[in-house]
Chains A and B, each alone.
Chain A
C-alpha cells in the first residue's frame, strides 16, 4: 500500500484511453464502474478536445456483482460496436473489473462483433499510465502490422514518426515542427502514429524504411517489435535542444543513406544567439532542479548545462522503467539521481538542492510556488496550461526558442537583479513587489507561503535581530537560499546564534 496525495501517472487504462483518443476509427470498451468516467474530462477539459474520447464504460454497479457484470459488459460492447462502427475495437478492464475476472477478451470473442478486436491486459495494481499507453500502442501495431510483409522496394528516406499521443506534453506542436524539419532535410514522413492515425495506417508502417521514436516512453515497445519482426531500424535520438536537433537530423539522414549536409532550418535557431548575448551572462551557474519523464528530464539537463550555462543541482524522473539513463546522466552532472513517484520526496529533494529555477511537471510547479522559486513546466503530467493556444513546440529549433523563453522569463533579469540589491528599501521597486516583467510568473503569497512565513518566525530565535535585518537586504528570490545556506553553515560549525558575521562567513563559504 502506498500513501499518495498527488500522482504523476494515472492507472494503465488511462494510458490505453490516450492511445484510443489519439487515433481515428478506434473504440475502447472499458469494463469499469461509473466513477471511472471522470477520465473523459482529461481530454475534453485539459486538452479542450472537441469530441468525447472514444471510450464506452460498462459502469456496472454493486447490484450487478452477483454475476451479471459479464452481461453488462456484453451489452455495452455490442451497443458500442453498433453505434460507433470502429475499425478496431480495444477491450480491457479497469482496476475494479480486473478483480472480477470477467475476461473481456473472451466475452468479446464470443460476441463475434465483426471488427478486429485487440484485447488489452492492463494490470492496474502493478503498472501505470505510461506503461498502459506503450502496451496499447504495441498491441495495436502488432495487430495491424503483424501479418504484413515488407515491400521489396522501399525508398530509403521514408520514415514513420512514432509516439505522439493525446495528453502528451506539447506533442501536437512537436509533430508539426519535427515533420517540417525532416521534410526540409530530405526525409519523407509516411505515417505519424498514434496521434491522428487510423488502424489502416498502422498496417502501412512496414512500408517505410525506418521508424523515428519521438517519445520512447510510449513508442519504444512498438518500435522494438517492428525492428525485430520487420527489420526496421529505429532512430531514438530526441530533438529537444539545438545540439540534439542537429544530431537528430544528421542521424536521420545517415539512416536514410543521405550525404552529410548543412542542416536546413537551423536559421530559425535563436537560442544560440540569445544565450551568447551579453545580458544572458546572469544565467551563468544558476542552479536548476530538473524532474519529469525521463526523455524530457534528460533533454532539459542537457540544454540547461550545455546551451544555457546553468548548473544542474538535481535530476530525476518518476518513471522507474527509464531510470537507468537518468542515473547515468545524474552521475555526469555530479548529482544524486532521484527516482521516485512520491511527490513529497521530490519536495524534500528540491528544498535540499536549493535551486534558483525548477524545471518539472505541474507537481513541481506547485512545490516551487510554495517555496517561491521560479519554475517552468517541461513534462507531463499535463495541465490545461500545457495546451497553449499559440504554437509552442519543445522539439526542433523553434522548440529550443520556446524553451529559452519559458525557462528564462520566470527568472529575474540581470540588471534588475543588481538594482534591487542596491535600492532594496524603495517602496515600489522592491522585492515584495516583484519584477515588472514578472506578472504571471511572480509567485503570489498563498496560504502555503503564509505557512512558510510562520515557520520562519519560529526559526527566528536562531538569528540575532541584526543578522535578521541584514538577511532582509538579500533579494527575496535568493533570501530563502541565503537563509538555508547560513543555517546549514551555522549548524555545521556549531555557531549559535547567527550573527551578521556568520551571514557573511556563510556567503563566502558558499560563493561560487
Chain B
C-alpha cells in the first residue's frame, strides 16, 4: 500500500523564459465558480475586454443566464466625472433588482480597476452595510496582471476563508476541509469514501451555497483537492488549520495517496483503508487498461494552463506509460507540488511562466505525439498535422478520484483514437471499386 506519501528532494531543471504568456487571467475561474455556488453572483469591475473575455471563454459553454456580469468602466468614470463608487452602487442596485435571489455578491477586481487603484474592499464593505443581512458582499482580485486562470479561484477561496465564521467551541469547527472546486459527482464519491473510512465533519470549500462555509479553527485539518491554492492555504493556516500534505487525487495512485494521507491524519486503520478502497482501486485499474495501449510510450507535451500540469504529467507517466516531453505550468507552488514533481522521472523539463513563441518552437522540434495546450494554440497545431487536446478540459471535466481515472486517461487517448479512425476513414474510398 502506498499510503503516507513523502516527497523526494531531487529538483529537475526548470525552464524560465520571459516572453509572451498565452494564458487566461484569473477572471476565467468565474466560469466554474459561478456554477458551483448557486446563490452567488460574480460582478467584475472592469473593462469591455473583461466582459468580452468572459463571453468568449464561456460563451461556447454557457447557454442559460450566467450568474456573472461585468460593470464596464467608461470614459466618464475615468475622467472623474462620475464617482465610481456611486456608479458601482447604481449598477449593484440594478443587478439586485433583476436577481433578488442572490445571497452573496462577489466583486471581482480586474487589471483596469487595479491600475486606477479602485478600492474594491472598501466598496464591498460599504455595500455590505447597505444590504445586510440579506446579502453578503465580498471582493477579490482576478486581474491578469496578478493572476493566471486558476489563481482566480485561489484568491476567491482566500477571501471566502477570511469571511468564514470562527468556531465558538471546539465542536463547531470543521474537522476536515477539502479545499478547491470539484465537480459534484466527485464530491459525492469522496464523501461516501470518507464516510466509510469513518471520518467526521467533512466540508468542501467552496460549498454549494454561500451560507455553508464551515467554521475554521485550530481543530481543522485541511487537504487541497486542487494544486493552485497557495493563497487559500495561507488563509487556512492563518486561522490555525493544518495542512495534510500529499499529491493530488488524479489517477489511482494519486487518489490512493490523497485518501491515504487523510486516513493517516485521522488514524484510520490500514485494514479499514484496504477494505474501503480496494474495490474502487481495482475498478480504476481495470478502466485504465482500456486506454493504456493508446498512451503507452506516447510522447506528450504540456503547455502551461491551469497548474494541474505536473499532476497530469505524473499520472501519464506512472499510470499510462506515456513519456513527458515538457511540462509547463503558469506558476509553480514549490511546496504544494513538490510531491508531484518528485514523482516525475528525472530530467523531465519543467517550465514555469512562458515565452509562447519559443515554447512552440521547442514543441515543434520535439515532434510530440500529443500536445496539451490552450484553445488559442490547438487548431494551429492541428493544421500542422499534430494532435492536440484542450488543457481547459481538465479543469472542466470530472477527472479526480477512482471512478474518473478511466475518464482521465480517455481524455488523453481520445485525440489519438480519433486520429487513427480518421486516418483510416478519410483516406478510404480508394480501395473501393465497382468492377
Contact = CB atoms under 8 A, between A and B. Distances in A.
Contacts of A56: 20
A95 B75 CA distance: 11
Interface string A23-41: 0000000000111111111
Contacts of A83: 357
A40 B22 contact: yes
A293 B193 CA distance: 55
B61 to A, nearest CB: 12
Contacts of B65: 5, 448
Contact of B52 (A10, A369, A448): A10
A42 B375 CA distance: 9
B116 A99 contact: yes
Contacts of B111: 33, 35, 95-96
A126 B74 CA distance: 6
A11 B49 CA distance: 5
Main secondary structure of the interface of B (DSSP, over half): helix
B27 interface: yes
A123 interface: yes
B48 A124 contact: yes
Interface string B227-248: 0000000000000000000000
A37 B376 contact: yes
Given A125-B74, A126-B74, A35 B48 contact: no
Contacts of A59: 20-21
A446 B63 CA distance: 9
A50 B383 contact: yes
Contacts of A49: 379-380
A128 interface: yes
B94 A37 contact: no
Contacts of B27: 35
Nearest to A48: B379
Nearest to B144: A35
Contacts of B380: 44, 49-52
A51 B115 contact: no
Contacts of A45: 60, 375-376, 378-379
Nearest to A63: B145
Contact of A62 (B51, B72, B114): B114
B363 interface: no
A200 interface: no
B115 A99 contact: yes
A100 B56 contact: no
Contacts of B88: 1
A447 B23 contact: no
A72 to B, nearest CB: 9
Interface string A42-70: 10110011111000111111100100000
Chain B CB within 10 A, most for which of A1, A49, A100: A1
Interface in B19-68: 19-28, 47-53, 55-57, 59-60, 63-66, 68
B56 A39 contact: yes
B167 interface: no
Contacts of A448: 63-65
B220 interface: no
A44 B377 contact: yes
Given A35-B28, A76-B20, A96 B70 contact: no
A33 B20 contact: no
B73 A61 contact: no
Interface stretch (B77-85, B258-266, B291-299): B77-85
Given A1-B71, A1-B74, A57-B20, A14 B377 contact: no
Contact of A124 (B24, B47, B70, B87): B47
18 contacts: A1-B71, A1-B74, A1-B77, A1-B88, A2-B72, A7-B51, A11-B47, A11-B48, A34-B21, A34-B24, A35-B26, A38-B28, A40-B375, A50-B383, A96-B144, A99-B112, A125-B74, A369-B63
The 7 closest A-B pairs by CB, nearest first: A35-B25, A35-B144, A40-B376, A50-B383, A33-B144, A95-B47, A1-B87
Interface of A: 1-7, 9-11, 13-14, 33-42, 44-45, 48-52, 56-62, 65, 76, 79, 83, 94-96, 99-100, 123-126, 128, 344, 362, 366, 369, 383-384, 446-448
Interface of B: 19-28, 47-53, 55-57, 59-60, 63-66, 68-75, 77-78, 82, 84, 87-88, 90-91, 94-95, 98, 111-112, 114-116, 143-146, 148, 357, 374-380, 383
